Structure 1
């Protein structure tokens, strides 16, 4: 029985365990995308099919979103969290056993569903145990923990020097360790079917109507994250770069986002959040244009990756913060759901469009498409008024 274990009642310890869970989840996602892309590129799979295969993970994430709330209410936080971890762990161990593209699609779907369950349970749990005066800080730490894990994930590619199965086995072992800690120490929390907040009528339509510009960064962030981690390994290998270079370069993209996340958040608090988003979009877009010009120059790519990641790596959180500025409080849960849907849609499109661009346009098209999206988004900002709404608006 889970309740027979020595669970902790300390919110601080619970939060620390949840941080460990989300960090290892981010690590698995950060590793899996480029790792499987490398394997499929070795097999001679066309870049567009390679990208299409990568979208299976995000199909799993997207599809699971429609069921997570009901599952959470039925089984509770802890069982849902452990179920997600078990699914990802089993899938990780099966990847190297059957090197088949069709089988990998099924496994990626399972990983996506498990990750979706994990994120939903851990994020709501973290919010529920955080005191009001530290809730913002704790959610920022939660996001940074995922970012650190996602950035460190590609380093696992270096384990290929030992054996092709080594990255999967090491990741699975880390999951088992964290899962054992969660099983032993976390209490068995139940979820209430009620949100405890009044749900205004037409909340989704009005959230879109009032804050469409603030919801777009989530889609751009999802597209960027997925296209970079699935498309850059193909791009680099076709330039003749080794797997070690890929594993070291990708983390610097995430590192740039981690370094500038807090300063940009503070700047947007003190100045103008819409202006910060627009300026970061333009600068990030221009940096993406320069990346193909660097060729296979590792040091130049490293610098450009840090700059691009720094300026657009906070788009998801800045967009949500801007939506919170504009919308009445009762509309924020709906806005969060829409932002998550946007992120999933962007993640679904990223690998496939990146692969199509590499195959039919040029290997550098992955960065030109990203540049176009971010710059167009910034220009659209001039048409968005960003009027602050109140609960009495209709």
Structure 2
């Protein structure tokens, strides 16, 4: 029975490929749809609201996704999630209307949330204890890699509006064929434990500082992918340049993820998070001062992404250090919810700020919130759990 439940290489490889393609899809859709709506004359705040629809779909799904996974298993839920994303992606170029796209983005969010929840849980429950951390790291790196590659799809617009959408859908269909070959599995049923709200209250009281990282990561990721195209167009950057610059944040995160993790093991996660937040804040603050210089923006994006692009994983690792083991699943759910809240807030706040303040305000706000985060870390006192 134990052998049956182990994560064999083919399963891990297939699930990692699913996550790479899902990251590519999300990384492409956010900036691509923002650019297309801006072309059609949609205001920046309405554009930001439309972008937030994806994260509203992700957030709402977290409240009901556990039951279908327990009832039907991992594979059917992932397949349904992929089906929703493929359907919505193919429909985007069919009718470029704001309300229609809002509904499609909600659909993508639901599919994306179902796909990620089931895939992450499948990897965690199927991995042997001695390889669980490594496999989850691979999951995070796979998503980051896909998300970084996604904005390159903007360059496909030159071949026609349908091309980027159909290209992404074809990648999904390829991994879907591989996924159908895996045997289905279901999560094990555990013993009855205390009420969810009590566990959530305990987690928030003990690990509020580590969990803020998921909120900030969601805000930064969604804000950059939804609002930076608007910023870039207004300062004179071309669409291909925007498509090339956006992945640099993800590349910086991929490069620094392992070093930051190793350093956090040696000198403490709180110190690394505070230092990373301050350096990231400085990098974001400097971006408006380099104008439309693509190289300097790229350098600053790489620094910022390298410093704060690992916030989600470092925050969960820090939470695992200080929380009792039985509260870790609840911490993961809270982190996912906070990520969704940040992702919804990012495009909305950024779009409003660009319209009613100035175009550089998105970077000033990012810098400010990371400085506030670092200062709050100085007040956080919690000993590691035994």
Please state how far the C-alpha of 1:55 moved relative to its aligned partner: 0.3
Please state how far the C-alpha of 1:195 moved relative to its aligned partner: 3.6
Change (3 A) 1:210 1:170: same
Mapped contact 1:204–1:334 kept (Cα < 8 A): yes
Counterpart in the other structure of 1:121: 118
TM (norm. structure 2) is 0.96
Mapped pair 1:18 → 2:9? no
Mapped contact 2:277–2:374 kept (Cα < 8 A): yes
Please state how far the C-alpha of 1:181 moved relative to its aligned partner: 1.2
Aligned to 1:67, the other structure's residue is in SS state: coil
Match for residue 208 of structure 1 among 201, 204, 207: 204
Match for residue 50 of structure 2 among 46, 49, 53: 53
Mapped contact 1:91–1:110 kept (Cα < 8 A): yes
* Equivalent-residue separation in structure 1 for 2:361 and 2:324 (angstroms): 40
Match for residue 340 of structure 2 among 335, 338, 344: 344
Counterpart in the other structure of 2:312: 316
Match for residue 98 of structure 1 among 95, 98, 115: 95
Match for residue 285 of structure 1 among 268, 281, 289: 281
How do residues 140-179 of structure 1 correspond to structure 2 at under 5 angstroms? 140-179=137-176
Please state how far the C-alpha of 1:197 moved relative to its aligned partner: 8.1
Please state how far the C-alpha of 1:275 moved relative to its aligned partner: 0.7
Mapped contact 1:9–1:187 kept (Cα < 8 A): no
Counterpart in the other structure of 2:81: 84
Please state how far the C-alpha of 1:200 moved relative to its aligned partner: 7.7
Mapped pair 1:135 → 2:132? yes
Query: What RMSD, in angstroms, separates the aligned Cα atoms of the two structures?
Result: 1.4
| Length, aligned pairs only | 381
**Where does the alignment leave 5 or more consecutive residues of structure 1 unmatched?**
1-7
Aligned to 1:291, the other structure's residue is in SS state: helix
Please state how far the C-alpha of 1:130 moved relative to its aligned partner: 1.3
Aligned to 2:78, the other structure's residue is in SS state: helix
Please state how far the C-alpha of 1:259 moved relative to its aligned partner: 0.2
TM (norm. structure 1) is 0.94
**Where does the alignment leave 5 or more consecutive residues of structure 2 unmatched?**
none
Match for residue 296 of structure 1 among 282, 292, 304: 292
Please state how far the C-alpha of 1:44 moved relative to its aligned partner: 1.0
Please state how far the C-alpha of 1:236 moved relative to its aligned partner: 0.3
Mapped contact 1:81–1:118 kept (Cα < 8 A): yes
* Equivalent-residue separation in structure 2 for 1:388 and 1:131 (angstroms): 24
Mapped contact 2:6–2:126 kept (Cα < 8 A): no
Mapped contact 1:197–1:330 kept (Cα < 8 A): no
Aligned to 2:94, the other structure's residue is in SS state: coil
* Equivalent-residue separation in structure 1 for 2:195 and 2:208 (angstroms): 18
Counterpart in the other structure of 1:272: 268
Q: Deviation string for 1:178-203 (max 9, x for gaps)?
A: 111111x21121233x2458558821
Runs of 4+ in 1 over 3 A off after TM superposition: 195-201
Aligned to 1:221, the other structure's residue is in SS state: helix
Please state how far the C-alpha of 1:388 moved relative to its aligned partner: 3.0
Please state how far the C-alpha of 1:389 moved relative to its aligned partner: 4.2
